[in-house]
């Protein structure tokens, strides 16, 4: 078994840690001192190594630049009440990453390589883990085709890299959503369930248009009829409708969110019935009109739980009631927070302790 201690480490000569204002982090603005790199060649992953974060040489003919073979994951590390470093649900992220890799015809990663790489890098840059409320160390593993060749082909060489970033809340304020009825994020049978870069690049333009209209994100609908809700721009979406927790059921066009799964798992202990099913725009609009839609919120690793302030449907803006300490979304967010920090017992075994 590969041990964390066996990974080669080249440390920075001078840390940038003292230049970071941890009281004003934002999201993704700062990269920690080191990164982990592993190469795939000769049909196998080579030993990973940790090196100072910095630029890398690459060929302009690198296949990922031309044909889009690149995928990523995102997860978070914290320090719990005992001072231990924990990574939240990395095994689940590993499973999803391998699904993305398989969909893009890229070589999968063993769980051992994935977990040991995350652990080693997080340990080396443990001083970068913020302890301010709502903050964490964001971990970004990604894989891309590194082979230099212009022919349209599945690459034979890849790089697996992990970089980390101390972050604050992703959405600090409640978000305004616009139901998107023209553009499409993903269609069933496509790559919507994979975290591949093209899904995000293709979503920029309609999101930009929505932002110019005063919205924060779009609420994607199905590619065939634009009648059913899929997910929001950077998050899965959940509703409290008729006193039940309702969220769109997973299809090949939706991302199987880890935070989504965590909140659904916790729902019964928080005293609410859950439903995973098709959710129509008409049903949401009716819920607004009848007052039976009491909450809407996005869930994801970056945002964790992001309150939705309003949703625009067919050009009409509907406001959500303000949240309070009794709101399901805030109770769910607090429970996740307390599990991660060790305030509540981790009965599901979600916290991976870096030893």
Number of domains, the chain: 2
For residue 152, what are the domain limits? 4-167
Which segments of the chain are extended strands (E)? 8-9, 34-41, 44-45, 49-52, 70-72, 75-79, 85-88, 136-145, 158-167, 175-179, 217-221, 229-232, 236-241, 244-248, 274-277, 293-300, 304-313, 316-319, 351-354
pLDDT of residue 134: 85
Q: What is the pLDDT of residue 1?
A: 36
Question: What is the pTM assigned to this prediction?
Answer: 0.95
Condensed to tens digits (0 to 9), the pLDDT of residues 13-63 reads 999 999 999 989 989 999 999 999 999 999 999 999 999 999 999 999 999
Handedness of CA 125, 131, 132, 137 (dihedral sign): positive
pLDDT of residue 133: 85
* Tokens (6 digits) for 319: 């406001």
pLDDT tens per residue, range 131-144: 888 899 999 999 99
In the prediction, which pLDDT does 4 show?
54
User: Are 179 and 61 in the same domain?
Assistant: no
Strand segments (E) across 130-273: 136-145, 158-167, 175-179, 217-221, 229-232, 236-241, 244-248
Residue 186 and residue 231 in one domain: yes
Whole-number CA gyration radius for the chain: 21
Do 15 and 51 fall within a single domain? yes
Q: Does 183 lie in the same domain as 51?
A: no
Residues 286 and 210 in one domain: yes
Identify whether 349 is part of a domain.
Answer: no
Do 161 and 194 share a structural domain?
Answer: no
pLDDT for the residue numbered 124? 97
Looking at the fold, whether 223 and 98 belong to one and the same domain comes out as no
Domain CATH code at residue 132: 3.30.470.10
In the chain, which residues have pLDDT < 70? 1-5, 171-172
344 part of a folded domain: no
Distance (Å, whole) CA 99 – CA 106: 10
pLDDT in the model for residue 2:
42
Q: Are residues 22 and 161 in the same domain?
A: yes
Same domain flag for 157 and 269: no
Regarding whether 100 and 31 lie in a shared domain, the answer is yes
């Amino acid at each position: 078994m590969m041990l964390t201690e066996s990974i080669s480490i080249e440390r920075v000569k001078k840390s940038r840690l003292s230049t970071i204002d941890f009281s004003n982090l934002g999201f993704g603005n700062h990269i920690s001192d080191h990164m982990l790199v592993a190469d795939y060649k000769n049909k196998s992953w080579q030993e990973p190594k940790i090196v100072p974060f910095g630029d890398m040489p690459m060929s302009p003919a690198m296949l990922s630049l031309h044909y889009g073979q690149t995928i990523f994951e995102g997860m978070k590390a914290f320090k719990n009440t005992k001072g231990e470093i924990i990574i939240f649900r990395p095994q689940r992220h590993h499973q999803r990453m391998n699904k993305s890799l398989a969909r893009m015809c890229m070589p999968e990663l063993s769980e051992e390589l994935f977990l040991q790489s995350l652990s080693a890098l997080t340990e080396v840059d443990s001083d970068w883990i913020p302890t301010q409320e709502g903050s964490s160390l964001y971990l970004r593993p990604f894989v891309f085709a590194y082979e230099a060749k212009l022919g349209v082909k599945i690459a034979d060489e890849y790089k697996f890299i992990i970089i980390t970033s101390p972050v604050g809340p992703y959405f600090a304020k409640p978000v305004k959503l616009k139901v998107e009825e023209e553009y499409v994020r993903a269609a069933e049978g496509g790559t919507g369930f994979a975290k591949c870069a093209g899904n995000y690049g293709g979503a920029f333009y309609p999101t930009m248009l929505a932002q110019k209209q005063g919205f924060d994100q779009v609420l994607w609908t199905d590619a065939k009829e634009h009648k059913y809700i899929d997910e929001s721009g950077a998050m899965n979406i959940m509703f409290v409708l008729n006193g039940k927790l309702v969220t769109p059921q997973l299809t090949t066009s939706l991302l199987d969110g880890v935070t989504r799964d965590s909140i659904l798992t916790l729902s019964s202990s928080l005293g609410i019935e859950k439903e995973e099913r098709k959710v129509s725009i008409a049903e949401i609009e009716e819920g607004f009109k009848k007052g039976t839609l009491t909450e809407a919120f996005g869930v994801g690793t970056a945002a964790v739980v992001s309150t939705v302030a309003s949703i625009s449907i067919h050009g009409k803006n509907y406001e959500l009631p303000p949240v309070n300490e009794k709101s399901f979304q805030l109770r769910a967010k607090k429970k996740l927070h307390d599990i991660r920090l060790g305030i509540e017992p981790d009965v599901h075994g979600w916290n991976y302790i870096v030893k």
